[in-house]
Amino acid sequence: MNEPQQKWTETIGADHSLFDLKLKEVWKYKDLVYMFVKRDFISSFKQTILGPIWFFINPILTTIVYLVIFGRIAKLPTDGAPPLLFYLAGVTLWNYFSSSLLATSSTFTGNAGIFGKVYFPRLVTPLSIVISNLMRFGVQFILFILAWAYYYYKGEAHPNIWILATPFLIFLMALFALGVGMIFSALTTKYKDLAMLLGFGVSLYMYATPVIYPVSSLPGFFKNLAYYNPLTGIFECFKYAWIGVGDFSPTMLGISTAIILILLMIGIVVFNKVEKTFMDTV
């Protein structure tokens, strides 16, 4: 008697395209994404006294430090914007980008134990990191909105139509952190000391980004160079949209978008290539 032919429900292989994100497969594992996001969000304030209040304390203390050091002592200009609101806008955006990038960069090394035991699309992990950090950003963004509403009532904040581009700006930051994070997550499987270098590099990168100063305050050469920093267009557009200050132009945002998409494509290729063999090197 002939046995019925078996049909496989899942086929695991390494012959997919380097440009394939396997988004359909990721969607099938959307519950896993939700579990990772919930785990990351809860673990960030678990066993703490103040809990989620830390999400407010961090930007408040950082903004106060910047206000004293860069506003009072260094006397850096803010293009006429209220210094507290100017620094809070930069801190809110920077916290999301830096935390997403650093966490994404350890995708392979930090999850080697899970990856070696069970199969799921590896892209689930960096995506969940970006989303969980987006929830933290949402909490801190509420703080910014409260401060912005106060200065708007006083007539010191002048929003404009570009405020509608805010979701797109956040999406661009997420893609940038995802792309660069995937590149470093792939490289750190072989060169683990890159993780320490990245932490130092991110700290320096903040000073190359208009977080604590406006682009208009830079001299000619450095101002032109700043245009090719992918975050410059995002930060300047955000401050221009909400506060009404900044040296913003649509061209600047277009340059940022193009560079970010290129880095994202490089990140996808490198991530998919290392995904096939990373268990042999981790």
CA–CA separation, 157 vs 149, rounded Å?
8
**280 band by pLDDT with thresholds 50, 70 and 90:** very low
| pTM of the entire predicted model | 0.85
Q: What are the extents of the domains in the chain? A: 23-41+52-280
Q: Does residue 215 contact residue 246 with C-beta atoms inside 8 Å?
A: yes
Q: How far is CA 209 from CA 130, 191, 228, 256, in A?
A: 20, 27, 10, 12
Select from 142, 129, 143 the least CA-distant residue to 97. Answer: 129
CA–CA separation, 129 vs 116, rounded Å?
19
- DSSP helix/strand/coil, 60: helix
- Could you read off the pLDDT of 113-127 as tens digits, one per residue? 676 677 767 778 888
Residue 140 contacts by C-beta under 8 Å, 6 or more apart in sequence?
Answer: 55, 56, 58, 59, 92, 95, 96
Copy the structure tokens of residue 173: 């930051």
**2 band by pLDDT with thresholds 50, 70 and 90:** low
- Could you read off the pLDDT of 195-229 as tens digits, one per residue? 788 888 999 999 999 999 999 888 888 888 888 99
How many secondary structure helices (H) and strands (E) does the chain include?
12, 0
- The yes-or-no verdict on residue 136 having pLDDT over 70 is yes
Cα–Cα–Cα angle for 184, 186, 189, nearest 5°? 105
CA–CA separation, 190 vs 1, rounded Å?
53
Q: How far is CA 169 from CA 24, 48, 114, 117, 201, in A?
A: 25, 32, 33, 37, 23
- Could you read off the pLDDT of 47-100 as tens digits, one per residue? 555 666 777 788 889 999 999 999 888 888 888 899 999 999 999 999 999 999
- Could you read off the pLDDT of 51-61 as tens digits, one per residue? 667 777 888 89
- Could you read off the pLDDT of 140-184 as tens digits, one per residue? 999 999 999 999 999 999 999 999 999 999 999 999 999 999 888
Largest CA distance in the chain: 89
pLDDT at 47: 57
Q: How many CB atoms lie within 10 A of CB 49?
A: 7
CA–CA separation, 266 vs 77, rounded Å?
37
